[in-house]
Amino acid sequence: MTSARPRLSVLIVEDEGIIAENIRELLVELGYDASGIATTAEEAVAFALERCPDVVLMDIRIKGALDGIGTAVLLKERFDVPIIYLTAHADDATVERAKKTEPFGYLIKPVKAVELRSAIEVARYKSLMERHLRAQGRWFSSTVQSIADAVIMVDLGGKITFMNPAAEVLTGSTLAQAKHRPARDVLCLLDGDDLTQRGETPLDRALREQQPVFIPDTVLQSSGGARRLISDSAAPVMDGTVLLGAVMVFRDVTEQKRSQQQVQIADRLASLGTMAAGVAHEINNPLAIVLGNAEFVLESLERAQAAGLSDSTAAEHPKTIQEIIEAHRELLAAAGRIARIVSELKAFSRPEPEASGSADVRDAIEWAIRSTMHELRHRARVTMKFERVPRVDADDTRLGQVLVNLLINAAHAIAPGDVDANEVSIATSLDDQGRIVIAVSDTGGGMPEEVLSRIFEPFFTTKPTGIGTGLGLSICRGIVTSMGGELDVESSVGKGSTFRIKLPASAKQEPPLSPLPEPLAGQLRGRLLLIDDESMVLKALTRILDVHDIVCFEDARQALARLRDDDRFDIIFCDVMMPHMTGMDFYEDLLSWHPEAAGRVVFLTGGAMTARAAHFLAAVPNRCIEKPFGTRNLRALVQELLQARRG
C-alpha cells in the first residue's frame, strides 16, 4: 500500500500575536503543519534546532537584535530552509534588501489562501530542486576528480605507456602487464555481427590521422573473456605541432544501454496499455448491442416456443426453432466470454492505484491462469489445489501481474509437445505464521545452484538475447515485498521449480457482495430518458426495457432542451463519453438548474475514460454501469431505482 505524502511543516516568524495566530489557522485549513510561532530571531533558531521546518514564513520587521531579513540569512545559512517573506512592507528599499537574501517568495499582507498555498508549494519545490542540483554538482565534481572513465595512453609506436584503474578493470590487464605492449594486444575490440577483432584500435587510428576519433558502442572483450559495451573516443596528444602519442578515454555503457532498452520496453508497454484501454472501449459498445439483442431474441424465441407457435412454418420445422434457440445461447456464451476478456484487458491496462485495496487470492489466480493458458495448454496440464484463505492487502491487478509472470516462467521451463507428461500446479495454503502461501510449481528442467542464486537479480536471464529482459522476477519480488510479503524459490536440476508467494492476511475481510434484486412479478413501469451517441446502443436498450415509456437522444444537448420542457423522467441513462457534449458536462449543466433531476442520472461507460472522467465518476453519488450490460441485471437495476423513487 502507498502512504500519503507527509504534511509540510511551516514555521511562522511574526511578533504580532493575532496575526501569527490567523496565519497558523489558515495554514491548518490548507492542510499544512504549522510547526511553531517565533517572535524573535533567537526563538526561530531554537525552533529550527528542535525541528527543522520545510518552509519559513518570515515577517521582515520583528523584535530583537536581528530583523526578519537578518533572521532569514541566519536560518538559510544554518538550516538551508526556504524563506517566504510575509510582510506589510513593500517599499523599494525593503524589497531591494530582501532580494539580496534570495527568498523563495514575497507576499504582502493580508495574504489570500490561494496565494499562500502557491507560494509554499513553489518554495518547497524550488528548494528541493536546488538541493538536488547541488548534490548533482558535488557528485559530478567527485566523479571527475576520481577519473571514473577508463584512460589509456600510447606512445608514437602505439605501445601503452599509461592505464588508470578503470581501464585495468575493463581490459582485465594491469598497467604492469600492459606497459610497452601494442594497444591492440590489450584492447580487444570486437566488430560486426560475428564479433571479430578489429585490426586497428582507435588509438592507432588517432595516431595515423592525427585527429580525434569517436567510435560509439563498441564491444570490448577483457583478457578473461568478459564482454562489455563501451563508448569511446581517442585523440592525438600534441605539443604544438609535434605529435607525442595518443590517449583513449572510454566508459562501460552496458548497463546504460540495458536501461535504455528497458525504458523503450516500458514505453511500448505504456502504449500497449493505452491501446488496450482504447480497444476495450471500442469493443464494449458493439458488444453491448450484441448481448442486448441476443438476449432479447432468445427471450422472444423461448416465449414463442413455450406458447406453442401457430405459424405453419414453425409447426412443420420445430427443430429449426430449437436450433435457433441453441445458436443464440451459444452466441450469448461467446459474447460473455468476449466481455470477460475485455474486462480483464481493462484491468491490465489501468494505471496502478495510489492505494492498494483488498484482493481475493483465488480470483487473482483464476485471472492469471486464463491470461496465460495460451502459453500453458501446449506444454503441460494445469492443476489447482485451493485451500480457503483470507483476502490479502494488495491490488488484485499487481498480484495478478506477479502470478502471470510466474506462470509464464513455468510454461517456458517446459518444452511444448508432451502435455500429459508435464504439469504446472498452483496451490494456496496457510503457513504456521498465518500467512497466505501461493505456490507455483512446474515439472521443467529446474535450475542449477549458480542460476538459482542470481534468479532475482535485475537483468539476469537465461533466455536468449531479445527474448528475456531479466527484469520479470526482480519486479515480481519488488511487488511482493511492497505488499509486506516474500517471494522465494526452490529448484533442482531435472526436478522442476517451485516459487512461493507468502503474504500477510488482510485485517479487513470484505463481506460477499449482495446480488442484484430479482425483478418483481408485478413490474413497475417507468418513464426513461436514454442518451447515447451510438444509435444501435439506444435501440438495444429500448428493446431490453420495452415495458417502459422511453425517449431517446443521441446528443446530450437535445436531451437537455427536452428536460427544460419536460422533466418527468424516472431515470435518465447517460453515456459518459460523447463527442458533442460529454455525460459529465450534461450532468453539471443539469445540476446547475435542476439538481433533483441530476440525482436521477445513471451513467453508462464503455471504458477508456479520461482522468477527468475517472475522477468525476468517483466523486458523484450517481450509479454507473459498464457496457456491456446484462439484460437481467439492467432490468433489475431499473426496478430497484423505480422502487426507491416511489417508495
Same domain, 157 and 139: no
Nearest residue to 366 via CA among 395, 410, 396: 396
Whole-number Å distance between alpha carbons of 590 and 608:
24
C-alpha R_g of the chain: 35
Per residue in 108-125, pLDDT tens?
A: 888 888 888 988 888 888
Residue 294, SS3 per DSSP: helix
Whole-number Å distance between alpha carbons of 278 and 298:
30
> For residue 167, what is the domain's CATH number?
3.30.450.20
The DSSP bridge pattern shows strands 601-605 and 571-575 to be parallel
Q: Provide the residue type at 552 as one letter.
A: C
The residue length of the chain stands at 647
- DSSP letter (8 states) at residue 453: T
Same domain, 539 and 561: yes
The reply to whether 403 falls in a domain is yes
Percentage of the chain surpassing pLDDT 70?
Answer: 79
Per residue in 302-354, pLDDT tens?
A: 777 777 654 545 455 455 666 666 666 666 666 666 666 666 555 554 544 44
Give whichever of 213-217, 306-310, 483-487 has the largest mean pLDDT: 483-487
Residue 630, SS3 per DSSP: coil
Average pLDDT score over the chain? 80
The answer to whether residue 633 scores a pLDDT higher than 70 is yes
> For residue 110, what is the domain's CATH number?
3.40.50.2300
Same domain, 307 and 371: no
Domain count, the chain: 5
Backbone angles phi, psi at 580, to 5 degrees: -85, -45
Backbone angles phi, psi at 185, to 5 degrees: -75, -25
Which residue range(s) make up the domain with 229?
150-252
Same domain, 343 and 216: no
Q: What is the mean pLDDT of residues 486-495?
A: 90
pLDDT for 261 = 63
pLDDT for 520 = 45
Final residue of a domain: which of 349, 371, 405? 349
Q: What is the pTM of this model?
A: 0.37
Nearest residue to 590 via CA among 581, 599, 598: 598
> For residue 422, what is the domain's CATH number?
3.30.565.10
The reply to whether 428 falls in a domain is yes
The reply to whether 118 falls in a domain is yes
Final residue of a domain: which of 144, 173, 196? 144
Q: Kindly report whether the peptide bond that precedes residue 621 is cis, defined as omega within 30 degrees of 0.
A: no
The reply to whether 580 falls in a domain is yes
Largest CA distance in the chain: 111
For residue 8, give the C-alpha cell: 509540510
Same domain, 108 and 129: yes
Residue 132, SS3 per DSSP: helix
Nearest residue to 293 via CA among 589, 631, 644, 46: 631
* pLDDT band, residue 509 (cuts 50/70/90): low
Same domain, 375 and 499: yes
Same domain, 472 and 560: no
The reply to whether 514 falls in a domain is no
pLDDT for 34 = 87
Same domain, 533 and 622: yes
Whole-number Å distance between alpha carbons of 209 and 503:
64
The reply to whether 509 falls in a domain is no
Neighbours of 64 (CB within 10 A): 15
Whole-number Å distance between alpha carbons of 378 and 375:
7
Same domain, 184 and 66: no
Per residue in 153-179, pLDDT tens?
A: 899 999 998 888 888 888 899 889 999
* pLDDT band, residue 571 (cuts 50/70/90): very high
Phi-psi region at 218: left, alpha or beta (left = phi > 0; alpha = psi -120 to 50): beta
Whole-number Å distance between alpha carbons of 516 and 117:
46
The reply to whether 156 falls in a domain is yes
Same domain, 120 and 163: no
Whole-number Å distance between alpha carbons of 473 and 457:
8
For residue 148, give the C-alpha cell: 571514473
Final residue of a domain: which of 185, 220, 252? 252
Contacts 24+ apart (CB under 8 A), 431-437: 431/502, 434/504, 434/505, 435/485, 435/502, 435/503, 435/504, 435/505, 436/361, 436/389, 436/390, 436/392, 436/501, 436/502, 436/503, 436/504, 436/505, 437/500, 437/501, 437/502
Residue 405, SS3 per DSSP: helix
296 to 194, 300, 630: CA distances (angstroms): 65, 6, 11
Look at 459 and 21; give whichever has higher pLDDT.
21
Question: Are 575 and 533 within 8 A, CB to CB?
Answer: yes
The reply to whether 220 falls in a domain is yes
Same domain, 188 and 227: yes
Backbone angles phi, psi at 293, to 5 degrees: -70, -40
Per residue in 510-562, pLDDT tens?
A: 544 444 444 444 689 999 999 998 887 888 888 889 899 999 999 999 999 99
Percentage of the chain surpassing pLDDT 90?
Answer: 21
Strand order in the sheet with 624-626: 549-553, 527-531, 571-575, 601-605, 624-626
The DSSP bridge pattern shows strands 624-626 and 160-163 to be unpaired
Residue with cell 515480481: 476
Same domain, 489 and 534: no
